Amino acid sequence: MSSFSRFTPLVSSLPSTVPFVGPEAIERNRGISVKARIGANENGFGPAPSVIAAIHEAATETWKYNDPENFDLKDALARHLGIGRENLAIGEGVDGLLGLIVRMVVEPGTPVVTSLGGYPTFNFHVAGFGGRLVTVPYAGDREDLDGLLEAAKREKAPLVYFANPDNPMGSWWEAGAIVEFARALPSDCLLVLDEAYSETAPASAIPSIADLIEMPNVIRTRTFSKAYGLAGARVGYVIGTPGTVVAFDKIRNHFGMSRIGTAAALAALKDQAYLQEVIVRIKASRERIGAIARDNGLQPLPSATNFVAIDCGRDGAYARAIVDGLMEHGVFIRMPGVAPLNRCIRISVGPEADMALLAESLPKVLKALG
């Protein structure tokens, strides 16, 4: 296959990689219609009616670029969090922000520490800038804080990634352990603390803003994709020191945010009553998924997210067969990518119709597998 001859050596050396195969691609490739979309950790309960109204209103002005300074959203977030606008950077979801963070730190050969089997999009960005991934296995289905700290010191790594709560296992650490970990890192090692699931976690698991806001080597990433139900709008933000936020402004896509997405995020942030309703529904759906798993002889793991990891009791091949088998019934789920995490499947919360189809389909799949 012919290709342009002057791509950089790095790009030419990389394999073509898709961190996540979407349900749309599965539908196209397998000719199967997704009936229960409970695999991508989206919020199937959707955004608030007030947010839908804001989207409709903003649609008439979509001919305009969004404010490149994101002033209104920064202002609203600053008031919501009790910090200054100078502590915030806005970007196209956590995925886009992770790319910028990596770009600020990583050069070809730079060691970057993360967990083996953790969020693959971060790894995708590290590879794209030529970084050298140093991975630490999970310990007891949680990211290993001691192992990450040891690796960061050993490798003299300038960047370490840690998600709390975690994807793909749904596990979490208490806030005190996270603060201790952050303070133990070398001052020239930047901690990316991914808090995409902060709204669904126990309050005790999320460090206060004051605990970390003065640390220049800590960046906290958050999103409107999960609890707020705006995955398709692509709105995320980072919390950091003013100096770190200034660094984002040097390289970010100033017109990357959509006007409609920003309006949706502003409305979602304002409607905290709806957010609390959804968090209750997410918890109930997690319990429903757990009950379905146990009814079928599988073991749900504790979760602080909007999904549940389920131990299938065998190996990755068996878990993959369950994923593929459920897709034959129109139930889209996912699974972790590496052993021993891949003994599990991962099911996102969703409306009761999705749960009912899961409850109907799972025993059929397991029976067929024997």
Q: Which residues neighbour 79 within 8 Å (Cβ) at sequence distance 6 or greater?
A: none
User: What would the pLDDT profile of 67-89 be if each residue is shown by its tens digit?
Assistant: 999 999 999 999 999 999 999 99
Q: Where are the alpha helices (DSSP H) in 41-119?
A: 49-59, 71-81, 93-105
User: What would the pLDDT profile of 309-319 be if each residue is shown by its tens digit?
Assistant: 999 999 999 99
pLDDT band at 217 (very low <50, low <70, confident <90, very high): very high
**Residue written as token pair 């290993």:** 144
288: pLDDT strictly greater than 70: yes
2: pLDDT strictly greater than 80: no
Which whole number is the average pLDDT over 257-278? Answer: 98
Residue 244 is predicted with a pLDDT of: 93
Q: Report the interhelical angle of 120-128 vs 93-105 (nearest 10°).
A: 40
Residue 4 is predicted with a pLDDT of: 79
Mean model confidence pLDDT for the chain: 96
User: What would the pLDDT profile of 97-142 be if each residue is shown by its tens digit?
Assistant: 999 999 999 999 999 999 999 999 999 999 999 999 999 999 999 9
Residue 7 is predicted with a pLDDT of: 86
321: pLDDT strictly greater than 70: yes
Residue 106 is predicted with a pLDDT of: 97
Which whole number is the average pLDDT over 195-206? Answer: 98
Q: Where are the alpha helices (DSSP H) in 106-170?
A: 120-128, 145-155
How does strand 132-136 pair with strand 299-300?
A: unpaired
Q: What percent of the chain has pLDDT over 90?
A: 93
Structure-block tokens of residue 73: 């959203």
List, in order of start, the domains of the chain with CATH numbers.
Answer: 20-46+273-369 (3.90.1150.10), 49-270 (3.40.640.10)
3: pLDDT strictly greater than 80: no
Q: Where are the alpha helices (DSSP H) in 309-351?
A: 316-328
Phi, psi of 171, rounded to the nearest 5 degrees = -80, 170
- Kindly list the distances between the CA atom of residue 284 and the CA atoms of 136, 211, 287, 289, 312, in Å, as whole numbers in the listed order: 33, 31, 5, 9, 22
* Angle subtended at Cα 162 by Cα 304 and Cα 199, rounded to the nearest 5 degrees: 30
Q: By the 8 A CB rule, do 41 and 309 touch? A: no
Residue 6 is predicted with a pLDDT of: 85
pLDDT band at 1 (very low <50, low <70, confident <90, very high): low
Which whole number is the average pLDDT over 181-201? Answer: 98
Burial 16-46 (b: 16+ CB within 10 A, else e): eeeeeeebeebeeeeeeebebbbbbbbbbbe
